[in-house]
Amino acid sequence: MDPEQAAHWSPRKKRPRQRSASVASAPHDIRFQDLVLFILEKKMGSTRRAFLMELARRKGFRVENELSDSVTHIVAENNSGSDVMKWLQGQNIQASSELELLDVSWLIECMGAGKPVEMTGRHQLVVNRDYSPTPVSSLNKIPPLAVQKISQYACKRRTTLNNCNHIFTDAFDILAENCEFRENEASCVEFMRAASVLKSLPFPIISVKDTEGIPWLGGKVKCVIEEIIEDGESSEVKALLNDERYKSFKLFTSVFGVGLKTAERWFRMGFRTLSTVKLDKSLTFTRMQKAGFLHYEDLVSCVTRAEAEAVSVLVQQAVVAFLPDALVSMTGGFRRGKKIGHDVDFLITSPEATEEEEQQLLHKVTNFWEQKGLLLYCDHVESTFEKCKLPSRKVDALDHFQKCFLILKLYRERVDSVQSSQQEGKGWKAIRVDLVMCPYECRAFALLGWTGSRQFERDLRRYATHERKMILDNHALYDKTKRVFLKAESEEEIFAHLGLEYIEPLERNA
Ligand code: CTP
Ligand code: MN
Ligand code: MN
């Protein structure tokens, strides 16, 4: 196409279809009039392109042999949005903002469904922010394709559970965990940020070029990404999965009540398995660790959503029996839409309760379960909350609310709606439950803080401090410039105080 022609991009007269090598292309009825597809040959190859074109036409799609301005959807394989834009630019074509740039996965799903399927972030090719299309022709008044900018803050990104970069994020989660085990905080943060930003991307990283303009993907992180793209795996991660220290720390910290210090001690003493630790007469265990060992199998098998819902019913019933106006919200990973979790978290608050009633509630609830034989472990932490105290500046500071860390006995019939007649095993499962009680005025801050994810919370606080001169924690938001506490009745109001777009819990899986 010569530049003059391309700038005006006039529709072409239909030429007879080219015949592909093996498939005869008979004319097909067009069933989906609104879509006009063009399949990019670059990196796909002509044979595969011809095959996909024929297949799509047979399914009733209109597919053009050449790019014309009637095309609505460009389908590409192994190309990023920026690659496609560059190709278009090379052809002297400026894309209109309505043109869809899609990965071949979308077309393949359409073929499976026999009709156009919804285009989601997974399918849409994103053009990096540093891609600045050079204007081709002053005659062309169509605005360029929207250029997306990815924030360095997780609280300015929408991160659903739809992660299309698992291959990378799994690696960075392991690398971050190893740094945590080695108490190398700087590298730990570096890897966690990389995993977090990758989880938010609506497209899979296919080439190193795709990482351009995305924050936190430089240096060491970039080398790991490069290696995974080239070899399909990271040699460092592979080595870690066989590393004595990593394996032992992972195993030891999987016991409820075992933290880094204990894991380190057991490792230095030469222990490598849980059975040898348990049998050793010289070791003493905390009450928490004893419970952890006793219920180990149940606690390592994750909590399902059905189990979480059953626990929710138990909590709700017990709480309102003592404080009828109390509000109970499930927080943590389940509120973010996760299907499994390591525990179930609840936030409890009451608009009417006196301070004494508020302080008594968690004790009454756990006593009640104890009497019913449902309490397998209980650790109460009393409130150290002081009104008007400035929020904590520390990104990972613990809050001051009254709470209890529990292990509850959940009977299987509470989970399965139809009670099975032949119950296997013991008929119940030990479940970790966290209950938090907060003053009514703090409920929005507490809900935001206990919904997570941890990375999302860290970045909310970092954002408040660095971008707004405010201090945020699980209790309050303080404006340092105005020297006032900013009140909030809902999470939406907290985001608004911070000048942030509201991010739904389902989009906080950073
Ligand atoms: N949290 C907190 N203070 C604590 C413990 C937790 O503020 N002492 C917050 C964290 O922000 C965390 C949320 O409560 O995101 C839930 O914690 P946790 O249960 O550890 O994590 P989940 O995100 O629920 O993940 P999982 O499914 O593993 O339970
Ligand atoms: Mn949780
Ligand atoms: Mn928890």
- What pLDDT score does 397 carry? 76
81 is a domain residue: yes
pLDDT score of 24 more than 60: no
What span, in angstroms and rounded, lies between the C-alpha atoms of 381 and 363? 10
83, 210, 343, 399: which is the annotated catalytic residue?
343
* Lowest pLDDT segment from 119-133, 240-254, 366-380: 119-133
Which CATH number is 56's domain given? 3.40.50.10190
Provide the number of structural domains found in the chain. Answer: 5
Q: Please, is 411 exposed, middle or buried when counting C-beta atoms within 10 Å of its C-beta (0-12, 13-18, 19+)?
A: middle
* Lowest pLDDT segment from 378-392, 426-440, 494-508: 378-392
Domain hosting 205: range is 146-241
Give the model's confidence band at 420: pLDDT under 50 very low, under 70 low, under 90 confident, else very high. low
122 is a domain residue: no
Tell me which of 417, 443, 469 is where a domain ends.
443
pTM of structure = 0.74
Average pLDDT on 335-343 reads 98
83, 103, 173, 345: which is the annotated catalytic residue?
345
140 is a domain residue: no
Give the binding-site residues of ligand 1, using a 6 Å CB cut-off.
332-333, 338, 341-343, 345, 398-399, 449-450, 452-454, 457, 474
Q: Using the atom order of ligand 1, give the atom closest to the CA of residue 338.
A: 27
Which CATH number is 256's domain given? 1.10.150.20
User: Residue whose CA is closest, atom 9 of ligand 1?
Assistant: 450
User: Residue whose CA is closest, atom 17 of ligand 1?
Assistant: 332
What span, in angstroms and rounded, lies between the C-alpha atoms of 127 and 129? 6
Which residues on neighbouring strands pair with residue 303, listed in sequence order? 341
Average pLDDT on 328-354 reads 98
Which CATH number is 461's domain given? 3.30.210.10
- From 339, 343, 460, the mutation candidate for ligand 1 (largest count of ligand atoms within 8 A of CB) is 343
What span, in angstroms and rounded, lies between the C-alpha atoms of 353 and 323? 8
* Lowest pLDDT segment from 70-79, 95-104, 232-241, 433-442: 95-104
170, 379, 434, 479: which is the annotated catalytic residue?
434
Give the model's confidence band at 16: pLDDT under 50 very low, under 70 low, under 90 confident, else very high. very low
User: Residue whose CA is closest, atom 18 of ligand 1?
Assistant: 332
Average pLDDT on 176-204 reads 97
Same domain? 378 vs 473: no
Burial 393-405 (b: 16+ CB within 10 A, else e): eeeeeebbbbbbb
Burial 95-107 (b: 16+ CB within 10 A, else e): bbeebbbbbbebb
190 is a domain residue: yes
Tens of pLDDT, residue by residue over 343-354, are 999 999 999 999
Average pLDDT on 422-427 reads 74
138 is a domain residue: no
Average pLDDT on 238-265 reads 98
Other CB atoms within a 10 A radius of the CB of residue 171 amount to 26
Higher local confidence (pLDDT), 131 or 214: 214
Average pLDDT on 400-405 reads 97
170: annotated active-site residue:
no
What span, in angstroms and rounded, lies between the C-alpha atoms of 34 and 71? 10
Tens of pLDDT, residue by residue over 222-244, are 999 999 999 999 999 999 999 99
396: annotated active-site residue:
no
